[in-house]
Structure 1
Amino acid sequence: MAILTTVGNGLYYSEKGEGTSIMFVHPPLLTSANFTYQVEELSRDFKVITFDIRGHGRSPYSEQTLTYQLIADDMVHLLNHLGIEKTYLCGYSTGGAIVLEFLLQHPNRALGGVIVSGMSEVRDSYNKRRISIAKFLTKTGGLPLLGLSVSWSNSDSISNFKKIYREALKGSRKNIEQYYHACLEYNCTNQLQTIDKPVLLVYGEKDKHFHPYARLLHEKLQDNELKFIDEKHRIPTKSTEELNQFIREFINAKQVKQNSLIKGKIRS
């Protein structure tokens, strides 16, 4: 665990494991603590990188307004700092849209993406309302209550809840509000067909409000696989084993394919 001082006022990050890298991206209010189980399990096979977005968790307040492009640029700075040329990216919920932004803006730094309960835009009234309420609560002093609700719903145990909630409350109210605002404004749907990196899409069978987003991404992305898990929205903490296995199989299959292509070129 360390602070990258060359990004804003500092960017808190951690890396664990060796080999092909995976960088995880969290949604507003939550932090890298939400990926504890991915770090623990996937670091046995890969280099797992997590970070707290500016003004979230242990990353200090950002004077620059948070946008998806700024967050994606910060991810590039972190890769440069770690000496990593290319990585897989995994985004949860609205963090999935940041993965899409990264694939659009920095395709040469990506091996592929994993989108868990994500979207390319917020187009339905249910999610618009939920995000708008979260933004309002953050702005008007309701962050502790919002943090309690979000942390509890993303926890599978009391100890996990305490960790996620404690980290969430460390964030900057203003930056968290900015992130929620960016979620409502962002839309890359019309650019999806230009993404040529492989993408794994993972959604909850019971997460009905996100099924249209799953179908949309599955239809428009050039190279993708769509998987469903018998869960609602909060897959990283509630269906850890299945998600981690999907990620492991996805990356391993892509590596085998890449190795075969390289061997074919050498022989020819």
Structure 2
Amino acid sequence: MPMLDIDGANLYYTVKGNGIPIVFIHPPVLTSSNFKYQVEGLSRNFKVITFDIRGHGRSQYSDTPIIYSLIVKDIKRLLDHLNIQKAFICGYSTGGSIALEYLLNAPDRALGGIVISGMSEVKDRELKQKISLGISLANKKAVPLLALAISWGNSNKQELFNKMFNEALTGDAINIEQYYRYSLHYNCTNQLKNITLPVLLVYGEKDKPFHYYAELLHKNLPYNELQVINHVKHQIPTKSANDLNRLITHFIEMTMNEITQRY
């Protein structure tokens, strides 16, 4: 089981495939298993890198509070360990906020960004309530309940549910609560204009509350492409994996072609 020691905290990660690297970032409670279909599909053409955020899944509990700058630092350390200078940074849901944070603070270590069902801030009441509930349940050490609900909502097969659920169960309540809490108050909307790298935005047609965030990012990011996948809600990596993988492949190929032509 590949582990990276970062200042005494063991970070679990996986690498599959060769070629242009893509790093995937999961939301609270879930683990890197959320990207099972991206690992399987995209690794045929790319180097797919996943990891469990500190205090989640197989990664060790973190004495240092889970905030986005820490996760960005961990990603850079992981890339250093793998001898990778630049990668595409892909985040799902609140992981999308971390992808934006990475692009803002480490543009020299990125080729571009991919935001799946993500946001630059938490604005609407429904999302605030969902994240606040996650904070409350984590504070009450109710990780099994969170693991059950979120794994069930994001799985499309019994086998995948079992894997996601069992891994989510091992998460640390304190670190999960920290991740939720930071997500609730994070806001980089006013900084989006400073992201000069290309960003792919992917949202579900039926994920109505997140259409606001899709338009917010589409309006404020200087170089972005917005794609909406039909007949799917929020859980795109597992519920619409083929469409997502196709969009990611096309985006990376087009971006790299532009870079090649430029230089």
- TM more than 0.5: yes
Is residue 213 from structure 1 mapped to residue 209 from structure 2 by the alignment? no
Q: Secondary structure at the match of 1:256?
A: helix
Residues 1-268 of structure 1 correspond to what in structure 2 (within 5 A)? 1-230=1-230, 231-262=232-263
Deviation at 1:198, TM superposition (A): 0.2
Post-superposition Cα deviations, 1:219-246, rounded to whole Å, max 9, x if no partner, equal 0000000000121000000000000000
Counterpart Cα distance in 2 of 1:142 and 1:81:
35
Equivalent residue letter for 2:249: R
**Contact residue 30 and residue 168 of structure 1 kept, 8 A:** yes
Q: Secondary structure at the match of 2:6?
A: coil
Let me know the Cα RMSD of the aligned residues.
Answer: 0.8
Q: Counterpart in 2 of 1:265?
A: none
**Contact residue 6 and residue 74 of structure 2 kept, 8 A:** no
Equivalent residue letter for 1:102: Y
Length, aligned pairs only: 262
Counterpart Cα distance in 2 of 1:54 and 1:20:
25
**Contact residue 103 and residue 110 of structure 2 kept, 8 A:** yes
Counterpart Cα distance in 2 of 1:111 and 1:178:
29
TM-score (norm 1): 0.96
Equivalent residue letter for 2:259: Q
Deviating runs (4+, > 2 A) in structure 1?
none
Counterpart Cα distance in 2 of 1:137 and 1:172:
12
Q: Secondary structure at the match of 2:23?
A: strand
**Contact residue 58 and residue 167 of structure 2 kept, 8 A:** yes
Counterpart Cα distance in 1 of 2:50 and 2:7:
15
Deviation at 1:6, TM superposition (A): 2.6
Counterpart Cα distance in 1 of 2:9 and 2:201:
33
Equivalent residue letter for 1:40: E
Q: Secondary structure at the match of 2:113?
A: strand
Deviation at 1:135, TM superposition (A): 1.0
Deviation at 1:103, TM superposition (A): 0.4
Q: Secondary structure at the match of 2:145?
A: helix
Counterpart Cα distance in 2 of 1:7 and 1:35:
26
Post-superposition Cα deviations, 1:41-65, rounded to whole Å, max 9, x if no partner, equal 1000000000000000000000000
Equivalent residue letter for 1:214: A
Counterpart Cα distance in 2 of 1:90 and 1:151:
20
Post-superposition Cα deviations, 1:2-60, rounded to whole Å, max 9, x if no partner, equal 10013441110010110100000000000000001000010000000000000000000
Deviation at 1:259, TM superposition (A): 1.5
Post-superposition Cα deviations, 1:174-206, rounded to whole Å, max 9, x if no partner, equal 100100001111110110000000000000000
Q: Secondary structure at the match of 1:10?
A: strand
